Amino acid sequence: MRKLIATLSASAALVLLLASAALAGTTLTYANFPPAKTFPCVQMEHWKAEVENRTNGAVAVQTFPGGTLLGAKNMLRGVQTGQADIGCISLPYYPGVFPAMSAVNLPVAFSSTTVASLTMWDLYQKYQPEEFKDVIVLTMFTSAPSNIMSKTPVKQLGDLNGMELRASGSILKILGDMGAQGVGMPMSQTPEALQKGVVKGLVSSFDVLKDFNFAEICRYETITNLPVYPFAVIMNKASWNRLPGDAQKVLTDLGREQSEWTGNYLDNHIKDSLAWAKEKYKVEVFELTAAEHADIKAKGVPLVNAWRTEAAKADLDADAILSDMLALKTKYETETGK
Ligand code: 3IO
């Protein structure tokens, strides 16, 4: 009898051990290029907590902010080859690679991050473009509409004359047309470029005034409402295929929610960041005239046409993508009031 009980309890222990090993099975690595404080990493930590919670710990996520696993430019390849299971990419860092989703980087004057992020997500869901065929897309979101942050004041567009400003993607072209000199590089290289004086400012969203402490060096801010930067969180296909079905479902269900969460977080955070910059560094904020905004808008038209040509070359229905994007933008502006 004793022997039987001992055998039974030993096998019960073995079953428990195997079950917990199966549950504890998966740890996913998640690489990100900018520092931990910045919004792409804040959304990453939120996503990690949601996934670990919703899978009851069956999936653990190990995060690597600040380029500690993969950097801005090797992120896409690094995820495709499995150096990281998951990675966060800023699409404008890969010119020509994302002909469909780069539409979100066009100068269409998005009114908020929430609107741009939800528009991007729905547009992706509708077209599921080829350009992401080698990875699994977990979520998409954008930065907030871009403004100028500079070391010397840009009170009017004429002040841009020859000024070197860091940007990426379509903003580079617009800056050139406005008489400035766009200098392309990832956000993660910008602190050094500003320090060394290689650039005299940057064009991005106001969260970076606080999160990179750019307010200290860029005391002048000009509201331009230039394009958002589109981001995608991508996963290695083999890593995805190794996940149990219920875990895959948790990740799939999180896609849109994460996009909206990030949009709301950033819309709030840019307000905090600008208020903080005014308080701590007494930064000055300049508004342009209606005529100057009309000028910026007019300079965006050839860009939209150039995108159309590129999209058509990639066998995409450019007009359909554009009109869907604008319809989604209007829909979400109405729905969110933002
Ligand atoms: C961005 C990128 C990394 C960290 C914080 C950020 N805030 C806005 C952006 C967008 C941008 O300028 C870029 O290069 O993706």
* CA-angle at 225, arms to 219 and 227, nearest 5°: 110
Read off the pLDDT of residues 136-181 as tens digits, 9 standing for 90 and up.
Answer: 999 999 999 999 999 999 999 999 999 999 999 999 999 999 999 9
pLDDT at 202: 98
Residue 14 burial class via C-beta count within 10 angstroms: exposed 0-12, middle 13-18, buried 19 and up: exposed
Q: For the domain bounded by 146-227+282-317, which CATH number is listed?
A: 3.40.190.170
Q: Binning pLDDT at 50, 70 and 90, where does residue 17 land?
A: very low
pLDDT exceeds 60 at position 7? no
Q: Binning pLDDT at 50, 70 and 90, where does residue 5 land?
A: low
Q: Binning pLDDT at 50, 70 and 90, where does residue 8 land?
A: low
CA–CA separation, 108 and 102 (whole Å): 12
CA–CA separation, 165 and 26 (whole Å): 43
Q: Residue 54 in contact with residue 250, Cβ under 8 Å?
A: yes
pLDDT at 269: 98
With H, G, I as helix, E, B as strand and everything else as coil, classify residue 25. Answer: coil
pLDDT exceeds 60 at position 46? yes
Residue 281 burial class via C-beta count within 10 angstroms: exposed 0-12, middle 13-18, buried 19 and up: middle
pLDDT exceeds 60 at position 24? no
Among the atoms of ligand 1, which is closest to the Cα of residue 168? 14
User: Is domain 27-144+229-269 given the CATH code 3.90.1150.10 in the classification?
Assistant: no
Q: Residue 107 in contact with residue 227, Cβ under 8 Å?
A: yes
pLDDT at 6: 58
With 0.75 as the threshold, say if the pTM is over it. Answer: yes
Question: Mean pLDDT over all residues of the chain?
Answer: 94
Q: Identical fold at 27-144+229-269 and 146-227+282-317? A: yes
Q: How many CB atoms lie within 10 A of CB 280?
A: 13
Q: Binning pLDDT at 50, 70 and 90, where does residue 61 land?
A: very high
pLDDT at 111: 96
Q: Residue 147 in contact with residue 224, Cβ under 8 Å?
A: yes
pLDDT at 1: 57
pLDDT exceeds 60 at position 22? no
Question: Token pair for residue 262?
Answer: 């990030």
pLDDT exceeds 90 at position 280? yes
Read off the pLDDT of residues 302-316 as tens digits, 9 standing for 90 and up.
Answer: 999 999 999 999 999
Q: How is the chain split into domains, by residue range? A: 27-144+229-269, 146-227+282-317
Strand partners, 232: 89, 140
pLDDT at 4: 52
Distance 3 CA to ligand 1 centre (A): 65
pLDDT exceeds 50 at position 21? no
* Pocket test residue of 37, 104, 143 for ligand 1, highest count of atoms within 8 A of CB: 143
Helices within 163-283 (DSSP H only): 170-177, 190-196, 207-211, 237-242, 245-281
Distance 227 CA to ligand 1 centre (A): 12
Among the atoms of ligand 1, which is closest to the Cα of residue 169? 14
Average pLDDT over residues 121-127: 98
Of all protein residues, the one whose alpha carbon is nearest to atom 5 of ligand 1 is 38
Binding-site residues, ligand 1, Cβ < 6 A: 34, 38-40, 90, 143, 168, 186-187, 204-205, 207-208, 229
Question: Token pair for residue 33?
Answer: 């290029």
Average pLDDT over residues 213-225: 98
